[in-house]
């Protein structure tokens, strides 16, 4: 089909594509396959010989009914009378640093600029073995478009912090992921959603009653309010919460960074020593606990230069309820079902210099989680401590976590799964 004939084509699907609002010079000819099990699409994007792309994400839902059933321009008409809805996504593959080898659904979306010269940018698109594919203008330059079903990959990330910190600690990760086109949420624990300095000066009196069960239920409510299952990324005690959420059917994928102990996992010696300030403090199960600066500098963030430790402490550290330690000891939230067939893919990340959640414990947790049929991987950063999400070089950890999650997140996660909603 030539550019001129495409522009003047009266086929109802071409006209529906023109209504996308991209421009009259940039149209998409969309064909839905005859069966529900196999979706085929062919698209003709009319643009400049070197397409120019905007930096913003743009999705267009296209609804159409097939018109004439006569074979037109070598393409069979759609055999279904039902209105079909599909998504058109336009993006440059070069912006992600990959060429042709990565799923289109994992890349950031871009909108075509209005064009004045129309040239053919048609390439074949066939999703017999994959629900998404690419239409290339030049295989060595960039990818112009992908057409996907409405049930797209997750674009929401929920970050779950651990003890002694609150949602403020995720600012770097949040900005980093938002720049990649994700919606990022970092809710604090109940009664922990104030600036760290305020929390240290006047913690909420009821904070002492916040325990593991209440924290898990808090994040469950946050997830249920979302239109799709998010990627869950948790650090330390937040990694434990993440595993409970995954076990309960929440999340399209999970990443736990330096996860705190969970039931059934052998606790390392350094981890035991790090719990002494709480367990050996009288009445800690009903008190709001405060981390000492000495503990912060020698165990929690021992890789932070001495001259920077006070600033880091003042900027991020908050009080935490001692109850959560005792809840973990007595398994008040129950046990994780290691062989859960409905658990989403999971990545465990450990630090070789972590004195709070030892890498050996992360490896033991990985062995337990591999009992589930879904994908489970582990990554140990040998030179990183428990302060890994805030220490220099945190971008490497953040990037590794997101790349893994984007590649392995469960498809069909556009809404909270029924098992989780009914829980």
Residue count of the chain, please give it.
423
Confidence of residue 245 (pLDDT cuts 50, 70, 90): very high
Other C-beta atoms closer than 10 Å to the C-beta of 373 total 11
Q: What percent of the chain has pLDDT over 70?
A: 61
CA-to-CA distance for 377 and 255, rounded, in angstroms?
Answer: 10
Asked if residue 287 has pLDDT above 50, the reply is yes
Backbone φ and ψ of 246, nearest 5° = -60, -40
The better pLDDT of the pair 41, 157 is held by 157
Amino acid 413: pLDDT: 52
- Cβ contact 130:78 at 8 Å: no
- Cβ contact 316:168 at 8 Å: yes
Assign 90 to helix, strand or coil: strand
Q: What is the mean pLDDT of residues 95-122?
A: 31
**Residues ≥6 apart with Cβ < 8 Å to 280:** none
Which DSSP helix (H) or strand (E) runs through 279? helix 269-279
Confidence of residue 152 (pLDDT cuts 50, 70, 90): low
- Cβ contact 238:213 at 8 Å: no
Amino acid 135: pLDDT: 36
The better pLDDT of the pair 417, 249 is held by 249
Amino acid 188: pLDDT: 98
pTM of the model: 0.66
Which residue, 194, 244, 256, is CA-closest to 215? 244
Amino acid 411: pLDDT: 64
State in words which class domain 156-421 has: alpha beta
Amino acid 53: pLDDT: 31
Amino acid 410: pLDDT: 86
CA-to-CA distance for 119 and 100, rounded, in angstroms?
Answer: 22
Confidence of residue 266 (pLDDT cuts 50, 70, 90): confident
Q: What percent of the chain has pLDDT over 90?
A: 58
Tell me which of 117-121, 141-145, 211-215, 381-385 is least confident. Answer: 117-121
Tell me which of 13-22, 40-49, 202-211 is least confident. Answer: 40-49
Asked if residue 153 has pLDDT above 90, the reply is no
Asked if residue 156 has pLDDT above 70, the reply is yes
Domain ranges of the chain: 1-151, 156-421
Helices vs strands, H then E, count in the chain:
13, 14
Asked if residue 127 has pLDDT above 90, the reply is no
Tell me which of 2-11, 119-128, 133-142, 187-196 is least confident. Answer: 119-128
Mean pLDDT for the chain overall: 73
Asked if residue 401 has pLDDT above 90, the reply is yes
Q: Which residues sit opposite 306 in a β-bridge? A: none
Which residue, 120, 58, 122, is CA-closest to 91? 58
User: What would the pLDDT profile of 323-377 be if each residue is shown by its tens digit?
Assistant: 999 999 898 999 999 999 999 999 999 999 999 999 999 999 999 999 999 999 9
């Amino acid at each position: 089909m030539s550019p001129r004939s495409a522009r003047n084509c009266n086929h109802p699907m071409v006209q529906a594509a023109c209504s996308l609002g991209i421009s009259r010079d940039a149209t998409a000819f969309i064909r839905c396959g005859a069966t529900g099990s196999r979706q085929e699409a062919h698209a003709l994007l009319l643009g400049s010989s070197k397409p120019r792309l905007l930096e913003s994400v743009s999705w267009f839902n296209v609804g159409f009914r097939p018109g004439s059933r006569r074979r037109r321009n070598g393409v069979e008409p759609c055999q279904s009378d039902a209105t079909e809805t599909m998504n058109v996504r336009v993006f440059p593959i070069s912006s992600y640093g990959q060429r042709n080898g990565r799923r289109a659904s994992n890349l950031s979306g871009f909108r075509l600029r209005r064009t004045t010269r129309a040239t053919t940018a048609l390439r074949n698109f066939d999703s017999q073995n994959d629900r998404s594919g690419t239409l290339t203008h030049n295989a060595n330059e960039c990818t112009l478009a992908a057409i996907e079903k409405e049930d797209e990959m997750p674009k929401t990330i929920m970050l779950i912090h651990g003890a002694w910190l609150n949602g403020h600690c995720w600012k770097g990760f949040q900005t980093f992921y938002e720049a990649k086109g994700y919606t990022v949420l970092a809710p604090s624990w109940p009664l922990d959603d104030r600036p760290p300095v305020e929390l240290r000066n006047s913690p909420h009196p009821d904070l002492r009653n916040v325990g593991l069960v209440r924290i898990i239920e808090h994040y469950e409510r946050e997830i249920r309010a979302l239109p799709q299952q998010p990627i869950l990324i948790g650090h330390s005690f937040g990694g434990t919460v993440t595993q409970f959420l995954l076990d309960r059917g929440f999340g399209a994928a999970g990443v736990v960074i330096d996860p705190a102990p969970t039931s059934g996992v052998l606790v390392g010696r350094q981890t035991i020593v790090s719990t002494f300030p709480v367990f050996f403090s009288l009445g800690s199960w009903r008190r709001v606990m405060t981390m000492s600066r000495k503990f912060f500098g020698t165990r929690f963030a021992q890789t932070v230069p001495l001259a920077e430790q006070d600033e880091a402490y003042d900027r991020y550290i908050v009080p935490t309820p001692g109850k959560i330690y005792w809840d973990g000891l007595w398994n008040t939230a129950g046990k994780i079902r290691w062989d859960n067939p409905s658990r989403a893919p999971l990545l465990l990340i450990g630090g070789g210099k972590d004195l709070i959640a030892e890498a050996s414990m992360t490896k033991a947790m990985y062995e337990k989680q591999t009992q589930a049929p879904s994908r489970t991987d582990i990554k140990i950063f040998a030179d990183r401590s428990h302060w890994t999400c805030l220490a220099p070089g945190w971008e490497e950890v953040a990037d590794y976590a997101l790349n893994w999650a984007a590649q392995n997140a469960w498809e069909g996660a556009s809404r909270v799964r029924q098992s989780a909603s009914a829980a």
